[in-house]
Chains A and B, each alone.
Chain A
Amino acid sequence: MSDGQGHFGHAHIAPASMYYAVFAALIVGTVLTVAAAKVDMGVFNNVVMLLIACTKATLVILFFMHVRWASRLTWVVAMAGFFWLLLLFAVIGDYISRGWVPGTLR
């Protein structure tokens, strides 16, 4: 027996219409991101593109992967994964900060 964390028994069953709605949102997101790539917004192209991708991923995680109705532990595990991914991206910090300390070679 677990000590009370997480759900037991029957899971939440979403109506099929919910899946179709999320699907439609994902298609819209794809169309948007292709269209936005054709417009020159400078550095904002990247921002828009990442925002759309993150929104799509969030929809898949919350609804297709049922995290919306899952235990807090599942939510923590999913968040930890993405947080650690961002931590790995901190590697870019080295490259960006080269030359920031005056009087040093790098």
Chain B
Amino acid sequence: MPDAHHGEHFPGPIHQPPLVANLEAIQPHDFVHLPHHPKLQHHFDDMAQQIDASTLGMWVFLVTEIMFFGGLFAAYLVYRHASPEGFAEASHHLNVTWGAVNTIVLIVSSLTMALAVRSAQTSAPPKTQVAWIAATMVLGAAFLGVKAIEYTDKFTHHLVPGPNFHWTGKHPQAAEIFYSLYFCMTGLHATHMIIGLGIMTVIGIMAWRRQFDEDYYTPVEIAGLYWHFVDIVWIFLFPLLYLIGGHFTE
């Protein structure tokens, strides 16, 4: 096969100032292993850079989560605008007490999560760290338990969209859309809670193994960011789904 010599009309850079100050150094030579924190990953220069990158990475991920849920909120906005009375009527069947209880449960779990991060930040004994993490998990599980109760109730009252949906009020189509959105939004949220419980399990095990102290607690911090985000989603879901219209049943 024919070929051409590349760079024939490129004599190479001449009279060019060096691009870097340490051209010799960036060529490969024997690598010197300097002392560092055991958790430092080697592509980072130091722990500060690693912590910064990890936190920024979680925030960027949370932005994607905002947009992920955002599609559902946009759909909610469009359909509620289309039939406000229908949505209010459909919302009445949701149990505000359960919704409020769940809201409180999640807020408490955010508190325990924040205190779990703080316990790692202050090099608290591993038992303390694990206790706060476990408390967060118990509350998360309680939240899911309440959702299970609510979902079962919907099922028995024929409020699950599909062939078995049955609505006796004035706006059956709007009601079916409302409950489609209800299940999609709370279902997606619950899925995130379950994933959160998985993350917390891993964090709990790491804390039990004495891996976190004031020099290294990044995994707890970013798990906390995730957990708080899931809480924030519910902070909006609760009033938007449960508190429309001003009347509610027990």
Partners in one complex: yes
A80 contacts which chain B residues (CB < 8 A)?
Answer: 63
Q: B194 interface residue, CB < 8 Å from A?
A: no
A26 x B66 contact (CB < 8 A): no
B70 x A53 contact (CB < 8 A): no
Interface residue range, chain B: 35 or more
Shortest CB-to-CB span from A51 to chain B, Å, is: 11
Determine the main DSSP class of A at the interface with B: helix
Given contacts A13-B118, A16-B115, A95-B82, contact A37 B52 (CB under 8 A): no
The 8 Å CB contact of B108, one of A8, A23, A78, is: A23
Q: How many A-B pairs with Cβ below 8 Å?
A: 132
A43 to B, closest residue via Cβ: B84
Q: A73 interface residue, CB < 8 Å from B?
A: yes
Bound complex: CA A65 to CA B110 (Å) = 10
B49 contacts which chain A residues (CB < 8 A)?
Answer: 1-2
Nearest 8 Cβ contacts at the A-B interface: A81-B63, A8-B48, A37-B243, A81-B66, A23-B111, A49-B239, A85-B70, A64-B114
Q: B187 interface residue, CB < 8 Å from A?
A: no
Bound complex: CA A11 to CA B215 (Å) = 10
Q: B55 interface residue, CB < 8 Å from A?
A: yes
**Which of A20, A70, A81, A88 neighbours the largest number of chain B CB atoms within 10 Å of its CB?**
A81
Bound complex: CA A25 to CA B73 (Å) = 25
Count how many chain A residues have C-beta atoms less than 8 Å from C-beta atoms of the other chain: 54
- A residues within 8 Å of B by Cβ? 1-2, 6-11, 13-14, 16, 19-20, 22-23, 26-27, 30, 33-34, 37-40, 45, 49-50, 52-53, 56-57, 60-61, 63-66, 70-71, 73-74, 77-78, 80-82, 84-85, 88-89, 91-92, 95-96
B46 contacts which chain A residues (CB < 8 A)?
Answer: 1
A34 x B118 contact (CB < 8 A): no
A65 contacts which chain B residues (CB < 8 A)?
Answer: 224-225, 228-229
Q: B148 interface residue, CB < 8 Å from A?
A: no
Given contacts A19-B111, A81-B63, contact A73 B56 (CB under 8 A): yes
Bound complex: CA A76 to CA B238 (Å) = 27
Contact pattern, B 203-247, Cβ under 8 Å of A = 1, otherwise 0: 000000000001000000100110011011001101110010010
A85 x B73 contact (CB < 8 A): yes
Given contacts A11-B121, A49-B243, contact A89 B74 (CB under 8 A): yes
A74 x B48 contact (CB < 8 A): no
B52 to A, closest residue via Cβ: A6
A34 contacts which chain B residues (CB < 8 A)?
Answer: 96, 100, 243
B104 contacts which chain A residues (CB < 8 A)?
Answer: 27, 30
29 contacts between A and B (CB under 8 A): A6-B52, A6-B56, A9-B48, A13-B122, A14-B118, A23-B108, A23-B110, A23-B111, A27-B104, A37-B239, A37-B243, A38-B246, A45-B246, A53-B236, A56-B235, A60-B232, A64-B110, A64-B113, A74-B56, A81-B67, A82-B66, A85-B67, A85-B73, A88-B70, A88-B71, A88-B74, A89-B74, A89-B77, A96-B81
Q: B25 interface residue, CB < 8 Å from A?
A: no
A91 x B67 contact (CB < 8 A): no
A19 x B107 contact (CB < 8 A): no
